[in-house]
Amino acid sequence: MTTRLLRDMASLVVVLLVAGGCYGAPGAGLQGVTPTPSSTSSPAQPVATPAPVATPAPVATPTSVATMSPDAFWAGLFSGEPDAVNYPSLRELIKGSDAVVLASFATVTGGPDYYGGSGFTGYMATVTLQVDRVLSGSLPVGSTTVPVEVFLGIGPAGAAQNPYADFIGQMQASMPHERGVFFLVNMVAYYRQFDPASASRYDPSAYQVTSVQGLVRDANGVAQLPRNAPGTWPATLTGRPFAEVVSEIANVQPGG
């Protein structure tokens, strides 16, 4: 991750912790999907916020809802502008990730939501992954699932109803029954760079996607990365046999 990005993220977090701040556009990473609420342009990652408010119950999937494509669902797992986190190589992406896992989608639920100060709440969705294999890094001992948090947007604190309920329902209805390789950063470890109190603000078992580059979909046996993944090297993985790409990722030595 570039020095410029770390500097910008640190400045953003300081502003948010002092003034309550503002969040990015809801569902900023979801291509071709426009949630009803809107806000300002999104940060590269969900911003650090005070301790989470009560997690709402899973949102029921509407009986009839417009669904997004598998490509859009995958790309939307990264919260922020795709070009904001651009690793120069696969090796550097692996070095920048706490865990790289081969996994499949299990569930989509609403929350946990975070109080953002100044009368605002940051709304999240959690995509739970069923882990088949850890390719690099590590997960907590005994973990067979991993929660991946996705920032949706901001709304007024104390709202009677989650303003993103319909959108979470759309995510639930659109969840592909697919597997892939996910490059993940631990939320507590990541935000500790900017916020010493991150351990009290986030679930230590929760992760987020490192970069749009870090999503490799198994599309019927063929590796496919999001079309908006920055850089040129992701194209060297796209279109190849998925098993071959998994083997290549597992054999990369991140040290050095």
pLDDT tens by residue, 85-131? 999 999 999 999 999 999 999 999 999 998 777 889 999 999 999 99
Two structure tokens written together for 100: 């790289």
Two structure tokens written together for 167: 């959108």
- Report the alpha-carbon distance of residue 178 to residue 181 in Å, rounded: 11
Please indicate whether residue 247 or residue 54 has the higher confidence score (pLDDT).
Answer: 247
44, 90, 226, 240 from 237: Cα distances, Å: 23, 10, 11, 6
Domain ranges of the chain: 3-251
81, 85, 115, 194, 252 from 236: Cα distances, Å: 22, 18, 41, 34, 15
pLDDT value at residue 191: 82
pLDDT value at residue 256: 61
Count of helix runs (H) and strand runs (E) in the chain: 7, 8
Is residue 228 predicted with pLDDT exceeding 50?
Answer: yes
- Report the alpha-carbon distance of residue 233 to residue 215 in Å, rounded: 13
Mean pLDDT of the chain: 79
Radius of gyration of the chain (CA): 17
pLDDT value at residue 185: 96
pLDDT, tens only, 192-225: 888 787 777 778 899 999 999 999 999 999 999 9
pLDDT value at residue 64: 60
Spatial neighbors of 199 by CB under 8 A, at least 6 apart, are 188, 192
Residue type, 81: E
CB atoms within 10 A of CB 130: 14
pLDDT, tens only, 6-51: 433 333 333 233 223 333 333 343 433 333 333 333 334 443 444 4
88: left (phi over 0), alpha (psi -120 to 50) or beta: alpha
pLDDT, tens only, 120-166: 999 999 999 999 999 999 998 889 999 999 999 988 888 888 999 99
